[in-house]
Amino acid sequence: MPLAEADKAIWQNLWIMLAFMSAIFLTLLVLLNVLLHRFVIAPVAQIASVAERVSMGDSSVPEYVHEGGDEIASLSKSFNRMRRSLDNAMKMLDT
């Protein structure tokens, strides 16, 4: 086999391998982005929305409940506890 044909085969295999690895990388990137949005960004945005409404004085907003044992659930419990404390303090100020 001439050296030129071997070089051509090597470069062709290299480009195929690079394309395959790029496809895997892009797939993992999209998957991680979707998972990050679903499990972190969306719940934090919901908590921020509730916090914004509560800070404007809207006490009719329902509590944000996130089930589980992760950090978002812990943040949810802490925020709801703080909100109840704030409601109690406001009631004490009114009386």
Task: Give the model confidence (pLDDT) of 21-64 as tens digits.
Answer: 999 999 999 999 999 999 999 999 999 999 999 888 888 889 98
Structural tokens at position 64: 């944000």
pLDDT at 53: 92
DSSP 52-79: HHHHTT-TTSPPP---SSSHHHHHHHHH
| pLDDT of 84 strictly over 80 | yes
**What is the value of pTM for the model shown?**
0.72
Question: Which residue type occupies 34?
Answer: V
Which pLDDT belongs to residue 32? Answer: 98
Going by pLDDT thresholds of 50, 70 and 90, the confidence category of residue 76 is: very high
Which residue is associated with the tokens 């914004």? 52
> Structurally, how many domains does the chain consist of?
1
Residue 18 sits in which domain range? Answer: 3-94
Amino acid at 63: E
pLDDT-derived band at 79 (thresholds 50, 70, 90) equals: very high
Which residue stretches of 1-95 are H helix? 3-36, 42-55, 71-94
